[in-house]
């Protein structure tokens, strides 16, 4: 689909980028931390919201206000269910005290901070999407979701791509991807019925995060799962509801095939995510060095299965991780020693002349290599080298 971008669209887009630059690079140097974050930024966001509301032309959403109230209720329900899943996950993991100030003054300041941020975000999102979209689109909401995700991240968070591969995976899994999925759902809500449904969804989520006295303290993998499952399912439900309202006859003729397809896509995406994050008993590991050639080459992906270390034997290929390692080492076991009841494993790369420097303790072993998939890890190597400047 072709989009003609009016001048006022480019102006608002540029203003959002400018505000991001000011908030991250200028305000911290001109003002003290409290003033920059809780005074200047909210004033800037409020001014932008007034500019959108008073100066920019009105837009008409794709839904034409036909089912705005229902989408508001659905958005509120999706947010409530997402919070419920986080609480359940917290019961299985742990809870922690909310780091935000819960005094009357602290709550008031945070309401202003969060409220002005959400209003300018959702007004901007809805205006940018509906200013150029004449009929429902998948492309523009996706790119708007990516754009607003980047705007919500601090520059220091984005700079994590300069870190280790493990840090990058954790950042994308626990921070970027859940926020991106939240923004995708908000973008589709905004496309159909403007900022109100998106505010209902994101507002309840923000209220829980900022004002609940105790919060689920989830590990990064569980946070990734709870942050992606519900937006995906919510997107499927909204898509089916809108399809039914727009064309009930065609919807009934499909006999639920659309919902089945959406749910299949959601479940498939979630399963891939769980697999990549090591939630299952197996996980992929990219090979970055040639220490196991010729059997395992650089760029191969090795599937590692968790295993009782007592079942390992000489000749097995396994992965282990030392405290100073960012990624597991995949080498072959060449000896198993038992010193006063303490088992230690001696590893060696097939292409190396000598065994690895230190013996490996059982608790350091990640699992046993069960499958080698050739060459498909080169994309991850390219990204690592790109972001590390190599």
Band (pLDDT 50/70/90 cuts) for residue 199 is very high
Backbone angles phi, psi at 325, to 5 degrees: -95, 135
Average confidence (pLDDT) over 199-217: 94
From CA 216, how far away is CA 110, in angstroms rounded? 20
Which among 120, 117, 187, 151 is positioned nearest to 17, based on CA atoms?
151
178 CB-contact burial (10 Å; exposed 0-12 / middle 13-18 / buried 19+): buried
Per DSSP, helices labelled H in the chain are 7-21, 27-30, 33-35, 41-55, 68-92, 104-132, 139-152, 155-158, 165-171, 177-193, 195-211, 220-246, 248-254, 257-276, 378-388
pLDDT reported for residue 252: 58
User: What percent of the chain has pLDDT above 90?
Assistant: 51
Contact 180, 145 (CB under 8 A): yes
Contact 227, 182 (CB under 8 A): yes
Average pLDDT of the chain, as a whole number: 85
For the stretch 138-183, pLDDT in tens is 888 889 999 999 999 887 666 655 555 566 767 777 788 889 989 9
Least confident range from 35-49, 110-124, 212-226, 358-372: namely: 212-226
Contact 360, 343 (CB under 8 A): no
270 CB-contact burial (10 Å; exposed 0-12 / middle 13-18 / buried 19+): middle
From CA 115, how far away is CA 41, in angstroms rounded? 12
Angle at the Cα of 388 from the Cα atoms of 386 and 390, rounded to 5 degrees: 70
Residue with tokens 């004449």: 134
Q: Which residues contact 221 (CB under 8 A, 6 or more apart)?
A: 173, 174, 277, 278, 279
For the stretch 311-351, pLDDT in tens is 999 999 999 988 767 678 999 999 999 877 789 999 999 99
For the stretch 39-92, pLDDT in tens is 999 999 999 999 999 999 988 888 888 888 999 999 999 999 999 988 988 887
For the stretch 7-36, pLDDT in tens is 999 999 999 999 999 999 999 999 999 999
pLDDT reported for residue 386: 54
pLDDT reported for residue 43: 97
**Residue that wins the pLDDT comparison between 320 and 258:** 320
Using N-to-C axis directions, what is the helix angle for 104-132 and 7-21, rounded to 10°? 150
Residue 362 has pLDDT above 70, yes or no: yes
Residue 274 has pLDDT above 60, yes or no: no
pLDDT reported for residue 85: 87
Map out the domains of the chain with their CATH numbers: 7-276 (no CATH), 282-388 (2.10.109.10)
Average confidence (pLDDT) over 124-135: 91
Helix (H) / strand (E) containing 373: strand 365-373
pLDDT reported for residue 90: 85
Tokens (6 digits) for 173: 């899994």
The DSSP code for 164 is -
Residue 278 has pLDDT above 60, yes or no: no
Band (pLDDT 50/70/90 cuts) for residue 375 is confident
pLDDT reported for residue 183: 95
């Amino acid at each position: 689909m072709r989009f003609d971008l009016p001048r006022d669209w480019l102006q608002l887009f540029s203003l959002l980028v400018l505000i991001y630059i000011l908030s991250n690079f200028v305000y911290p140097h001109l003002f003290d931390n409290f003033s920059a974050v809780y005074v200047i930024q909210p004033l800037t966001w409020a001014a932008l919201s007034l500019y959108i509301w008073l100066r920019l032309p009105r837009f008409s959403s794709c839904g034409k206000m036909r089912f705005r109230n229902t989408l508001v209720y659905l958005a509120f329900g999706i947010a409530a269910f997402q919070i419920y899943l986080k609480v359940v996950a917290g019961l299985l993991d742990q809870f922690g005290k909310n780091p935000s100030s819960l005094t009357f003054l602290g709550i008031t300041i945070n309401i202003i901070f969060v409220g002005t941020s959400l209003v300018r975000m959702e007004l901007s999102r809805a205006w940018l999407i509906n200013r150029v979209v004449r009929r429902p689109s998948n492309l523009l909401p996706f790119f708007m979701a990516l754009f607003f995700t980047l705007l919500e991240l601090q520059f220091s968070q984005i700079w994590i791509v300069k870190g280790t591969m493990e840090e990058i995976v954790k950042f994308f899994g626990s921070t970027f991807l859940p926020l991106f999925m939240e923004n995708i759902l908000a973008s589709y809500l905004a496309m159909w019925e403007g900022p109100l449904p998106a505010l209902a969804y994101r507002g309840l989520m923000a209220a829980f995060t900022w004002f609940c006295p105790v919060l689920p303290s989830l590990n990064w993998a569980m946070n990734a799962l709870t942050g992606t499952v519900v937006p995906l399912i919510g997107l499927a439900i909204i898509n089916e509801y809108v399809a039914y309202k727009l064309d009930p006859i065609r919807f009934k003729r499909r006999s639920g095939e659309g919902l089945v397809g959406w749910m299949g896509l959601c479940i498939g995406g979630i399963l891939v995510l769980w697999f990549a994050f090591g939630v299952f008993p197996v996980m992929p590991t990219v090979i970055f060095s040639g220490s196991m050639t010729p059997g395992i080459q650089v760029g191969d992906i090795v599937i590692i299965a968790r295993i009782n270390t007592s079942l390992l034997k000489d000749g097995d290929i396994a992965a282990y991780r030392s405290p100073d390692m960012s990624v597991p080492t995949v080498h072959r076991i060449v000896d198993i020693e038992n010193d006063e009841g303490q088992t230690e494993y001696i590893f060696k790369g097939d292409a190396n002349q000598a065994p690895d420097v230190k013996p490996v303790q059982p608790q350091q072993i990640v699992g046993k290599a069960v499958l080698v998939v050739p060459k498909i890890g080169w994309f991850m190597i390219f990204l690592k080298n790109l972001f590390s400047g190599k």
